Amino acid sequence: MFERAKNRMAAVAAAVVVAGGLVACGGDKVPEAPGQSTPASSAAVTSAPESSSSAAEMSSGRGVSDVTGTWTLSTIEMTNGGVIPIPEQVNAGITVVGSKASITTGCNTASAEIGVVDNAAVLGPVAMTKMACPNPDLQKLEDATLQILDGQPTVGVVNDQLTIDGDAGTLTYNEA
């Protein structure tokens, strides 16, 4: 077991955040939810995260490799204080195996690499399918998720929940 955890840690540490952009369906704007405003810009962030927290600090005593697993989206909080509702029985989550992340937004699927920048685990650019969302609530969920995933959001485990913190907000996932 130790060897497996060591290999996972090495895979995360060795991962290189690949160049590229965010492929999103529906354009740049996130529809407004109650108490939610549309950010002025959704330009990709290419610099390292400003946070000085180490990956170990972010993970509250659990190693970076502990992000491995399947996680179900539980909350979306935008930086400006808005909360995006998660429709009942929506299939939104993330599965992490080594340095590979597979993401479901409720409408589309995506993939990304997890790398290390300035001692923090970060999610690299996201490649995504472009199917239309079947209803406006799922579109809001997907658009908010994509805004948070834009740039290089940090990834960690806090209080047994996986969090992805980006400039636009925080995605919080429970272990599935």
Q: What is the pLDDT of residues 30-85, one digit of tens each?
A: 333 333 333 333 323 233 333 333 333 333 434 456 789 999 999 999 999 899 99
Phi and psi at residue 123, in whole multiples of 5°? -95, 130
For the chain, give the mean pLDDT. 72
With a CB cutoff of 8 Å and minimum separation 6, the contacts of 26 are 133, 139, 142, 143
Q: Tell me, yes or no, if the pTM score tops 0.75.
A: no
| Confidence (pLDDT) at 65 | 64
The residues spanned by each domain of the chain are: 2-39+50-175
| Confidence (pLDDT) at 14 | 34
- Give the pLDDT mean for 26-30: 36
CB 68 within 8 A of CB 90: no
Kindly report the CATH class assigned to 2-39+50-175: mainly beta
Q: What is the β-pairing status of strands 169-175 and 161-166?
A: antiparallel
Q: Which of 115, 120, 4, 107 is nearest to 56 (CA)?
A: 120
